[in-house]
Amino acid sequence: MDMAVGALHFWPFHWSLSTTLSPPPPPPPPRPSSSSCCFPQLSLSPVDKTLQHIKTSGVIACLRAPSAELAMEAAHAAFTGGISVLEIVMSTPGVLEVIQQLVQDHPTRIIGAGTVLNAKDAKNAINAGATFLMSPAMVMDIMDNVQSSETLYIPGVMTPTEILSAYNAGAKVVKVYPVSALGGTRYISALNKPFSHIPVVASQGITTDLIGEYIAQGASSVVLSDAIFNKEAMGQRNFNIIYKLARLAAFEGSEAVERYMQDEKVQSSLVL
């Protein structure tokens, strides 16, 4: 274990909302309402529960940091802002200990590992407590190894062929990456026509103001990186900014999912 990882066990982390932020309003409450009609709670496996939570939140916050300490503080700020699903990129120093500690500190949050490129890293992340894994491409060794586990694997895809291949190989959800370079919301809309039965996470270059449009066009959730963990704020350790960006993203994600569910209910009633 390297020094950065080992030191994390003894790091006296005391990030406090009362000392860092001045009196913010409470985070937005979770929205009950119509999501329960589309994501039933009964008899769900751990993998299906994770997927349901990702769909309900509408946002996956993607965190990469140059140190374990900064990753912990930024994650706490994002959670305080209302983020419920967090992906920590594997290149973050001490990432396994960061995941393990965050899982202990925030047992109701969904915490996963991102940019997982091989089966060894996948196994280590799962052992650390990650409930989902994301890759920028489809890694068959990971897919094969998670089939019997309680961890959701979200492989990266670009083309219709890759989407169908990943789904047929066992993927319950796929990540369209790099979505902005592929056409953004218009690309998601086009993919949704033949693949409406396959949950899709949109990733790369997405800003908070586009969350609603991505969800409306068929994305189950979006990945936000710099839109929450702003590079300047991270560099200055300005966790107040990260908190505010996280709060806005969580609100926009919740509202977008709610609007989508209402639209689905309307469409269903018209069919009936």
CATH number at residue 163: 3.20.20.70
239-271 helix and 68-80 helix, angle to the nearest 10 degrees: 50
Dump pLDDT digits (tens) for 8-59.
433 334 444 433 444 445 445 444 444 444 444 568 999 999 999 999 999 9
How many independent structural domains does the chain possess? 1
**Residue 179 domain-assigned (yes or no):** yes
Per the structure, the complete domain to which residue 217 belongs is given by 45-271
Distance CA 147, CA 185 (A): 31
**Residue 174 domain-assigned (yes or no):** yes
Dump pLDDT digits (tens) for 206-243.
999 999 999 999 999 999 999 999 999 999 999 999 99
Q: Give the amino acid at 211.
A: I
Distances, alpha carbon 144 to alpha carbons 16, 50, 107, 125, 138, in Å? 41, 19, 27, 16, 11
Helices (H) and strands (E) in the chain, counts: 14, 9
